[in-house]
Amino acid sequence: MSLSCVYFRQVNSYSKSSRYEIWAEWPGWPYLLIGVTVLLRLLHVWNSESNPTFWAPAVDPQWYDNAAMEILQGNFGPFPLFRAPLYPILLAGVYAVFGHDLFAARVLNVLLQAATVWVILRVGRSYFLAWVGIVAAALFAVNGMTIYFAAEIVSPSAEMLAAALVMWATFRLFRDHSPAAIALCGLTWGLAAVTRPNFLFVFPVAILTVFFVSRMGWLKRIALWIVCAGVPILPITLANIVKGHEFVVIATQGGVNFWIGNNPEAIGYLSSLPGYGSTWTMADAADESQRAMGRKLTEGEVSAFYTKKGRDFITGQPLQALNLMIRKIGLFFNHFEISNNKHIEYFSRLSPWLPTLQWLNFGVLLPLSLLGFWVLRTREEIKLIAGMTILYMVSVILFFVTARFRMPIVPWLCLIAAVAIVWIVDSLRQRLSWQHFAPLVLIIPGVLIAYTTIWDLHEAPIGWARFMEGNAYMRLGQLDSARTAFENSISYSEATPLAYLNLGVIAYRHGRFQEAKQRYEDALLADPNCNLALNNLGTIYESLGDTTRAIEYYRRAHLLRPYEPDARINLAGTYFRQGTAALKSGSDSLAIVLLDSCVQISPTPAAYYNLAVALLGQSGRTQRARYELDRALDLDPDYTPALKLKAMIRDSVQFFSRDPSRE
């Protein structure tokens, strides 16, 4: 008889009148567990309010916040979608009711996690033992990382609920083979996929479950499952095709992330784009791909470009790629929480008790889960969770590992870890022989995997957290607090170029131009390729009347990142102002050079018009002037000065004013 069968026979032989069993059936457990879940998370949310990053979200939280506001205003998109849409839709629903309330946004996360606890409790009680459900729900309720993400405007709270629901819906198929149960299961998985596309990788587990539980008509039942799974997905795919003009199943984010996780510089866990570092933007990624292809690319083409680069790395350097994949497997199960958008260690301390509870994540769940998998290894439900966990892990390590990317498997591990805990407690209560506890040895490899340090994992210096706080203070208009935060960031010798840059911006806003100039130069000393510092130095020199040096710095900034609007607009604006000044003074040749430089960088109707005027000032250049006027009218068909000048040329009017006020 298997160990799992012995375990259940022994557990079911307990006297139903024992206090142990009576407590397991206490009807207050759901209220207690959900209450603890809500209380701990609301406490952390309240504590987080004291930090400026709570009120000025940045990076991914800012993206989700902006996306929700766009949806609320009827601007769903742009298509093809960059990220899965379900969480932004839920967030938009909250904003529709409460307004743009960032506290209410976090309360949404709290409610999603409360629902997750309820689902875990129900699954544990229904498919295992009452105590398994109670312990699993408790493990989730006090899990420090789930509490941490409740205060962040990112999607893990929705993803964990989706993971719990797909577990419940798939388990039901072992008891209910009806078409309704299969349809519900498919629909649940489809919703999970539009919450986080990684769930698409796990679809085979659910499809195989449908196959094995369908004694007859399995093909029709699988087709039913697929159709129902497609109900939430297909509208998004069609919108991407019709409105975005590209075949994208859900979102385009995957390509860039695939390249970030699979390139010669990758280390498996940093969101660092080769050539741009950790402060890259999607504009950087798009510009890189478009320069490589020699043309403008759509969002889907950008994603495909980086997917191909990642595949080329894997096929071209298979040993390095294999080593990287093994590393990412270890990172996925390690107890260390890898920060992505925010410094987890620093911002967790906003609730002094939270760092202790964070140890209850993978450092505890993984060793106990290995024991739980062994104890009930013959159960179909356990095999199902094992398959889901493995495939979801694959979906993450194909890209790169961070704390929030792996959170969706936490509900599954909580359930299996609870099996192990209940098995240990029940075995101790029965005072079984020491041989019975032999499976406890499985905790040892779990501990070794979770706590291995061969990859020298460590949190980023605190300076980055202070830098993020400084940015938040700046967005909130609290410049003195921002300056203090940036100075603290510099004292930690981290984020130095950008910290100097922002200190310069603060000085500039206060009218202290010489101080601002010094700060920008300090930023360039720390990073000679800091294009923002170069651009800002250009504005300083232009304000001081040194146009030549202003153009020099604008040009250097523009050459570094041609797609960045600030340097491009500033450089073009300087050329335009100098060109019109030259035109007014009668220097047509100089005006042509300057205005031609302007339209090459940032074409505007006014620039084309003044270029045409300068060209008309030189004999024999009427045809070129007409061409420039046509380009002005291409940009603005109603641009009156260009229309008038074109009519004058057409009517062979010989006299026209050289006054540049015509612009």
Q: pLDDT digits over 493-520, tens only?
A: 766 889 999 999 999 999 899 999 999 9
Which secondary-structure segment (H or E) carries 180? helix 179-193
Q: Taking 80 as the threshold, does the pLDDT of residue 456 lie above it?
A: no
Report the CATH number that the domain containing residue 510 is assigned in CATH.
Answer: 1.25.40.10
- pLDDT for the residue 494: 67
Same domain as 353, residue 473: no
- Domain final position from 451, 476, 492: 451
pTM: 0.89
Task: Give the integer Cα–Cα distance in Å for 359 and 364.
Answer: 7
Q: By residue range, what is the domain housing residue 615?
A: 590-662
Same domain as 172, residue 69: yes
The total domain count for the chain is 3
- Asked whether residue 287 is assigned to any structural domain, the reply reads no
Same domain as 233, residue 146: yes
- Domain final position from 401, 420, 451: 451
Q: Point out the least confidently predicted range of 31-45, 105-119, 192-206, 281-295.
A: 281-295
In whole angstroms, how far apart are CA 519 and each of 123, 506, 530, 590? Answer: 58, 10, 12, 34
Same domain as 373, residue 236: yes
Same domain as 163, residue 74: yes
Which residue(s) pair with 273 in the sheet? 277
Same domain as 484, residue 432: no
- Asked whether residue 368 is assigned to any structural domain, the reply reads yes
- pLDDT for the residue 10: 44
Same domain as 596, residue 640: yes
Helix or strand or coil: residue 88? helix
Same domain as 179, residue 45: yes
Q: What is the pLDDT of residues 203-223, one digit of tens each?
A: 999 999 999 987 778 899 999
- pLDDT for the residue 619: 62
Q: Taking 50 as the threshold, does the pLDDT of residue 663 lie above it?
A: no
Q: Taking 70 as the threshold, does the pLDDT of residue 655 lie above it?
A: no
- Asked whether residue 9 is assigned to any structural domain, the reply reads yes
Same domain as 516, residue 435: no
Same domain as 595, residue 538: no
CB 92 within 8 A of CB 68: yes
Which residue(s) pair with 277 in the sheet? 273
Same domain as 65, residue 206: yes
Task: Give the integer Cα–Cα distance in Å for 532 and 535.
Answer: 5
Average pLDDT, the chain: 90
Task: Give the integer Cα–Cα distance in Å for 451 and 446.
Answer: 8
Q: Would you state the torsion angle of the CA atoms of residues 153, 408, 226, 128, taken in this order, to the nearest 10 degrees? A: -130
Closest to 230 measured CA to CA, from 272, 275, 193, 271:
193
Q: How confident is the model at residue 654 (pLDDT cuts 50, 70, 90)?
A: very low
- pLDDT for the residue 256: 92
Q: Taking 90 as the threshold, does the pLDDT of residue 287 lie above it?
A: no
- Asked whether residue 190 is assigned to any structural domain, the reply reads yes
Closest to 141 measured CA to CA, from 274, 243, 38, 227:
38
Q: What is the pLDDT of residues 587-618, one digit of tens each?
A: 889 999 999 999 999 899 999 999 999 988 87
Same domain as 232, residue 87: yes
- Domain final position from 416, 451, 486: 451
In whole angstroms, how far apart are CA 130 and each of 21, 141, 364? Answer: 9, 17, 21
Which residue do the tokens 């439900």 mark? 381
Task: Give the integer Cα–Cα distance in Å for 32 and 478.
Answer: 41
pLDDT mean over 356-381: 94
Q: Taking 50 as the threshold, does the pLDDT of residue 406 lie above it?
A: yes
More confident site: 333 or 616: 333
Give percent of the chain with pLDDT exceeding 70: 95
